[in-house]
Amino acid sequence: MLDYGKIKTWEVKDNVISISFEKQKMIVTVLTDEIINVFVPIWSEDHRSKAIEEEDMERVLSKGYTLNAESITTPDGNALQISTNNLKAIITDGGYVDFYTMDGYPVSRQFRGERVPIKTLGIWEMELLKAEGHTVADTVLNKPVSDTRVIERDEPIYGLGDKMGLLDKRSYEYENWNTDDPSAHNEQYRSLYKSIPFIICKKSKYAYGLFYDNTFHSYFDIAKENREYVAYSADDGNLDLYFIGGGKIKNVIGNYTLLTGRTPLPQLWTLGYHQCRWGYSSAKDITEVAEKFRELDIPCESVQYDIDYMDGYRVFTWNEKDYGPKGELFDKLYKKGFKPVVIIDPGTKREEGYFMYEEGTKNGFFFRNAEDTEDYVNEVWPGEANYPDFGRSEVRKWWGKHINDLTDMGVAAIWNDMNEPASFRGPLPEDVVGYDEDRRTTHRELHNVYGHFMGKATYEAMKEHTKKRPLVITRACYSGSQKYCAVWTGDNQSLWSHLQGMIPQLCTLGMCGFAVNGVDIGGFGADTTPELLCRWIEAACFSTFFRNHSANGCTRQEPWLFGDEVVDIYRKYVKLHYRFLPYIYDLLHEEQENGLPVMRPLVLHYENDPVTFNLNDEFLVGEKVLVAPVVNPGETMRKVYLPEGTWYSYNTGEKYEGSKYILEEAPLDHMPIYIKAGSVIPFYDEMSYVGEKNFNKINLLVTPEGGNCIHYQDGGEDLSYLNGNYNLYRFTVGPNGALSTELLNKAETVAEYKEFAVISLKKIV
């Protein structure tokens, strides 16, 4: 716990208040009426943020926030009060910072007492655990950086990115240290591949967020050791807290993504279905799988290329022996509508004569050992490997140049893997040397942003070179990576618990700004079953990264290997996904403005309804669609909670009044879906892949009372939408089904729809 002493003096410059305590400095910056930064320079005088880049800060500051003369007062004794139009921060002796609403409601106060960790283990066990290198409760105390905040006894807490477990993270503890652990991830896992030190606290009267921007190894105890508080601590770095107000969860997400950036609009085809397997090891394998999708009439955009396409796992090479001459397979499959998506790992094989090794070594682009005497070596797929030092722009540019070689060859999207970074000879030591641009530092600081920088390198190169919207899928990342990357949740397994875990995990990633996200459908490791695969394609049907992927050595996961019933169910839900594509795309367009994801927990829109606070087995798609998949084996009836309002079953057209549970039959081929009364949902006709047909026609799925919607349409690939090259429609449908269309924005080069069809929900029964 830092010792601050008493407040001595303070100085105000624009919206920055620099406070000198007897023993410590604190800088409070008011960024907007709802975003306040508290910075304690424990380790460096400047922020060194990787989540909030210059352009992000300019965007926030362009809102032109200025504190006025009455903003800073000293209400009582030595306390300093900073007021915005919506919030007050009160700073007192001892370095305590408390946040209140303007009418004095305490939103977030610092905990004044001592943390008392739970000691469920005896001294002997604790010592043994420590000796084995594990973190035990008392070693989390006395970290150089810490902040412990009071919460209400039943205040739900969301966030932290890809962490396993439930939506509400209360009663669990977590760590941010990007980790590739191949065993079955379960709810007590403390760290996975991503570090997102952001939580959303849903206090009864005011939801708010806490973002601790620090890339060093950090720890969150979410009311586990004590129901009274949430405790954050870190091994090093600064206390760099962004207090994010908003009052409602959606405003908090909006503010957090205003600060750290939003997921850019993807190319339309990337939202379609993808097939993958680590084990499609030749052109023949890929072609056969691709053709089978067309033959069975299951839509598909890509059969992805896992590590085998490389020559001996050397990044940026091509295995001609098994995959034929460079570019040939791509051309052949492009003709059938398949776009090539290839994996890239950072680990670069150490081998004389290999161009990546030669270039990287000659230019000093790899991490160095602690003594800085030679390049650091560990092992990954290609054997002994070096790790590019992505924190430097020259290294990112070098990497990007090779990414451009891939896109020149026809590659349409990149899948970044093993970028925690993974290492087969034990973890990279924390004292491995790398750089943050020209500042020498160590892996201790860089570890959690390794995947972030690799994603940035890839995204920027692709955007600049192809002039299209890049799809970069990543396994590891940090807060703010959503500006560059879509995410998938790594190596899950074919387990019912992992299907169940998908819902809170993807909802949470979305609440942390990652609007394009997905899991390996069917499960990556272990062996799937026909029932599990069916339930998984149903539950994942609204994913923004929609891919079946499995591991070498496990049961293959193409639907046709499980018989006709599975194929029919699989086809039905992949087709349903494509029918809903324009709705999903509309939501991603809106996300540019509001930061809200496509897949949302119910609590995001029904935050006064306690039933939704920790509802883990159903979700919303936008505001208008509610999905309640079956995620238990053998179950054919589904208990569904419908929140307040009127809902219609998508499948039967039946009308329900909400705020109650209903029971719906859900045999294997049926996933309950509900549409909110008053909705108009844009809907495509069937297609085998994006680009197969012209988008001349749009269907509008309407509930009986009619309603309206704003619908967005663009060319689906390039960046001209940023300059207004898109059509924006307002569709209004009366209760009698009469449609009126208004064009709110007209594109220069995107043809408008020629045909509009109203589909009444009742009629599609």
Residue (400 or 451) nearer to ligand GLC, CB: 451
Helices (H), 540-580: 564-579
- 48's enclosing H/E stretch is none
- Report d(CA 237, CA 48) in Å as an integer: 10
Annotated active-site residue 417? The verdict is yes
Minimum CB distance to ligand GLC, residue 307 (Å): 4
Residue (475 or 577) nearer to ligand GLC, CB: 475
DSSP 72-118: EE--STT-EEEE-SSEEEEEETTTEEEEEETT--EEE-B--S-----
What residues between 541 and 570 interact with ligand GLC by CB under 6 A?
549
What residues between 191 and 220 interact with ligand GLC by CB under 6 A?
none
**589's tokens:** 């367009």
Residue nearest to ligand GLC (CB): 278
CA-wise closest residue to 422 among 394, 453, 465, 451: 451
Residue (261 or 382) nearer to ligand GLC, CB: 382
Tell whether residue 278 is a contact of ligand GLC (CB under 6 A).
yes
- Report d(CA 537, CA 568) in Å as an integer: 12
CA 107 to chain centre: 27
Binding mask 449-488 for ligand GLC (x = CB under 6 A): --------------------------x-------------
Q: Are 308 and 286 in contact (CB under 8 A)?
A: no
Binding mask 684-713 for ligand GLC (x = CB under 6 A): ------------------------------
- Report d(CA 622, CA 335) in Å as an integer: 34
Annotated active-site residue 420? The verdict is yes
Tell whether residue 521 is a contact of ligand GLC (CB under 6 A).
no
**258's tokens:** 């205003």
What residues between 281 and 340 interact with ligand GLC by CB under 6 A?
306-307
Residue (314 or 549) nearer to ligand GLC, CB: 549
Residue (182 or 429) nearer to ligand GLC, CB: 182
Residue (273 or 583) nearer to ligand GLC, CB: 273
Query: Which of 173, 375, 417, 591 touches ligand GLC (CB under 6 A)?
Result: 417
Selecting among 56, 168, 420, 445, the annotated active-site residue is: 420
Write out the E strands in 388-506: 413-416, 433-436, 439-442, 472-474, 477-478, 486-488
How many residues at the interface with ligand GLC, by CB under 6 A?
10
Residue (306 or 586) nearer to ligand GLC, CB: 306
Selecting among 345, 491, 591, 607, the annotated active-site residue is: 491
Query: Which of 156, 337, 421, 490 touches ligand GLC (CB under 6 A)?
Result: 490
- Report d(CA 352, CA 358) in Å as an integer: 7
Minimum CB distance to ligand GLC, residue 412 (Å): 18
DSSP 376-388: --EEETTEEEE-B
What 3-state DSSP class applies to 129? helix
Write out the E strands in 654-738: 655-657, 660-665, 673-676, 680-683, 697-702, 707-713, 727-733
User: Which positions are annotated as active-site residues?
Assistant: 417, 420, 491
- Residue ranges in contact with ligand GLC by CB under 6 A: 278, 306-307, 343, 417, 475, 490-491, 524, 549
